[in-house]
């Protein structure tokens, strides 16, 4: 029995199947998936169906592309030209798939491995214990009758700094942005989305979130597993922080980490699935 943490799949279903064959994934094994199951790759529908059908064998956290798909489903936004979720929107099992997707979490604890799984990260202004509570706030709304209204208020870069006094949609939007969009921030958690994603594009006064000291030093031993930041190519040089997104959709590779022995497994992308505009970095941005 083994547990594998996998980075952003983004509809790269062929590579996902190859990766599972490489690790000899069996009925006794478990997957932790760091969000962005869909979009920009060619087989988002197949990916979504496969992971849903794994049932208890798969644990998923939501990424920004997954939330974007839900927003499209609920009519909060129209699909973008570059989106590859049209097959999901037109699928006969769309309602079932979307109902399952919105019940997934923003943060998952893996106590047996002393680890937590998120899509983008955990801001330095929160303890991991507090982060669990904040994630629960959004998860509760996603599973409620307020889900449609949430997606109409989800998009935006403000507020960009945490305050416990924040309320309503502003509070939920910021929590969502921390968990699903964050890359650079200040020690007190102020976000900056202007950077294209590479470390040399670091905005003044900001750092990669994982290089900043954690709020509670007693939590330093807890490993944070995350995706979202393909430009890192799996390298953070930060103790107990593991980057899982290795850019499969951009033509790089799909990677899994076996938690029992910290061994990595990767399969190369068959080809780049998505070509960004010449002025853009290849990172996913909402």
pLDDT computed for residue 282 by the predictor: 36
Q: What is the pTM of this model?
A: 0.94
* pLDDT tens digits, one per residue of 12-58: 999 999 999 999 999 999 999 999 999 999 999 999 999 999 999 99
Contacts of 32 (CB under 8 A, 6+ apart): 3, 4, 5, 6, 58, 59, 108, 110, 117, 225, 259
Separation between Cα atoms, residue 196 and residue 199, nearest integer Å: 9
pLDDT class of 283 with cuts at 50, 70, 90: very low
pLDDT tens, residue by residue, 241-272: 999 999 999 999 999 999 999 999 999 999 77
* DSSP3 helix / strand / coil % (the chain, rounded to 5): 35, 15, 50
According to CATH, the superfamily of the domain at 3-268 is Metallo-dependent phosphatases (3.60.21.10)
H or E segment and range at residue 86: helix 86-89
Query: Do residues 116 and 128 touch, judged by C-beta distance below 8 A?
Result: yes
pLDDT for the residue numbered 286: 39
Query: Residue 253 is encoded by which pair of tokens?
Result: 């590779």
Arithmetic mean of pLDDT, 147-151: 98
Q: How far apart are CA 68 and CA 85, in angstroms?
A: 10
| DSSP letter for each residue of 122-158 | --TTS-HHHHHHHHHHHHHHHTSTTHHHHHHH-----
Token representation of residue 114: 């002393």
What pLDDT does 279 receive?
Answer: 36
Are the C-beta atoms of 157 and 176 separated by less than 8 Å?
no
């Amino acid at each position: 029995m083994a547990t594998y943490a996998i980075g952003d799949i983004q509809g790269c279903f062929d590579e996902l199947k190859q990766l599972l064959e490489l690790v000899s994934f069996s009925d006794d094994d478990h997957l932790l998936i760091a969000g962005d199951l869909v979009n920009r790759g060619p087989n988002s529908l197949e990916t979504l169906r496969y992971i849903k059908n794994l049932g208890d064998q798969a644990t998923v956290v939501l990424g920004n592309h997954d939330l974007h798909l839900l927003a499209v489903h609920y009519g909060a936004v129209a699909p973008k030209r570059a989106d590859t979720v049209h097959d999901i929107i037109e699928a006969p099992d769309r309602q079932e798939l979307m109902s399952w997707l919105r019940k997934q979490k923003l943060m998952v604890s893996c106590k047996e491995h002393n680890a937590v799984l998120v899509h983008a990260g955990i801001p330095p202004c929160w303890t991991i214990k507090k982060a669990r509570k904040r994630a629960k706030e959004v998860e509760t709304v996603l599973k409620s009758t307020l889900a449609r209204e949430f997606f109409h208020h989800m998009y935006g870069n403000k507020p960009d700094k945490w305050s416990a006094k924040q309320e309503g949609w502003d509070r939920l939007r910021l929590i969502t942005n921390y968990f699903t969009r964050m890359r650079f921030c200040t020690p007190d958690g102020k976000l900056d989305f202007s950077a294209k994603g590479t470390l040399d594009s670091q905005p003044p006064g900001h750092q990669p979130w994982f290089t900043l000291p954690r709020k509670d030093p007693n939590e330093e031993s807890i490993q944070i597993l995350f995706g979202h930041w393909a430009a890192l190519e799996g390298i953070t040089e930060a103790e107990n922080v593991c980057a899982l997104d290795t850019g499969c959709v951009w033509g790089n590779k799909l990677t899994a980490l076996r938690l029992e022995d910290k061994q990595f497994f990767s399969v190369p992308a068959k080809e780049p699935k998505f070509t960004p505009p010449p002025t853009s970095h290849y990172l996913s941005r909402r």
